[in-house]
Structure 1
C-alpha cells in the first residue's frame, strides 16, 4: 500500500508499470529521480484541493480542543503532507531531491537537513497529518523529518487496524488519497470508516483506469455522498512505454471513458472525488 505500490523491483502488473524498488527507501531521493522524467504531477494538482478540504473540515470543529487530523492513505514519503502544511511546491521537492549535491549525502544527514527545511516552511494553519502505508522505511522518513504527526503500516487489505491506528482514527476528520487507487480497495476504506469517531470527509484522486465505484458504495454505506469533479481530468504522469499506453487506453474504454486527448496522448489521467456526510 505505498504511494503507488511497495515491495521488490520494478515490474508490470496488468499492463501498468510498478516501481516497487523506489517506494520503500530510507529517503525519497530515488523516488524523485525516477519520477522526474515521467513528470509525475498528481500531488501538485491535489495540493489546493486538499488544503481547501482540510480547512473546510476543520471549520466544522471550531470550539473543539483538538483539530481534526488528516489521514493520508498510501502516504509514502509524506509528499502530500509536505504540500499541505508547508510553503513549498512539488517542483521545489523535485529540485531538492534530484540535486547532484545531495545524491552522495548520508541518509541521516539528509533527514537532519530536511527537518530544518520543513520546519522553516511550516504554515501557520498546518493540520495534524497521520500517514498510512505498508512501506515502513518511507513512513519512518516522513515521521522523522516532521511531515507526519503519526505513521502507521497496517495492511488494511488483509486485516483490521491495530491498536495504534485504531486510537488515531478517533481524531481523523479528512482522508486523502493520491496514486493509491490502484493498490487499495474498498476493504481498506471499510476498515477505516468502521473505526472513525468524528464526521469524516474523503478527498481522492483516482486514475481513470480504475473503478472507484466499489469505494463509493462503501462510503455511501457509512453515510457519505460522493461527488465527482466533472470539470476536468488531472494528468498524473507520462507512460513508461507503449505497452502501458495501450493498457491505459483499453482500461479507460472498458470503464466507459474516452481516452482521446488524454491517455491516447501519452499520460495517465485521474479524476477527483470528494465525499462528505449526506446531511451537509
Structure 2
C-alpha cells in the first residue's frame, strides 16, 4: 500500500505527518521506528497522525522515534494547524485539536493564504515543584513541570558545558519519573531570553521541543528568573511563551514549515 505523507518541522523539531482520514495506519508504533531512521527511512523525530474527533475539529496522535506514544507536542500541534488549513481540510483560523493531554486550541496566523505562525493554548501548567535528584547524578536540583507530559528543567550557567548525550539518557530514566521524563537544560541570557537544549523522552536530542519550551518558561517564572513573557531559544529556532503565573493558561507562538511531500510503500 502506498502512503502519502508530509514532512514538517517546527523550530527544527521534524515529524512525518499522515492524514489517517485517507490513510489509516494499523501499526503506527512500528512505522514510527522504521520511518524515523535517518539512513534507511524518511528520517524524523517521529510520526504524527491527523485524524477525526468527536470532541474537536481534528485529533492528533504522536509516536516517538522509538515507537512510544507521546501525550502532547507543541511543535507538532502547530504543524497540524498549518497542514489542515493549507491542504484544505478546514477554512477555520481557530482550530481545536484532540490530544492525549486534552483539547488544545490553535490560532492560525495566515498571510497570503499561508499559515506563517500558530499560537497554541497549551492549557494550565501543573505539578510545578522543585526536585532534588539526589547524590550520584551529574546535576542535583531541577524544576518539575507537567505540560500534559512530564518535564525536568535544570538551570545552568554555561550551556556549552552540558554533555547532553551523556546526561540526557541518565536523567530521562531517573527513579523519580517512573514513566521517564523530558529533560531541558536552560541558561538565562537576559530578562525574557532563555537558551534551552532538550533531551526528549523517546527521541533523544532534538532541535526543539514545544512543551519543553513551555516548561522552561514556567520554571523560569517559578524561580523568578524570567516572569511573564519569554523567548525560548533552541537549536532549531525560537518560540515565544506567554504565561501570567500559576493557575493561568499558557500560550505558545512559533513557526510551522513544510519540508516536503512524499509517498512511501508499506
TM range (shorter): under 0.3
Length-normalised TM-score, structure 2: 0.25
TM-score, L = length of structure 1: 0.24
Structure in which a larger fraction of residues adopt helix: 1
Q: Which has the higher strand share?
A: 2
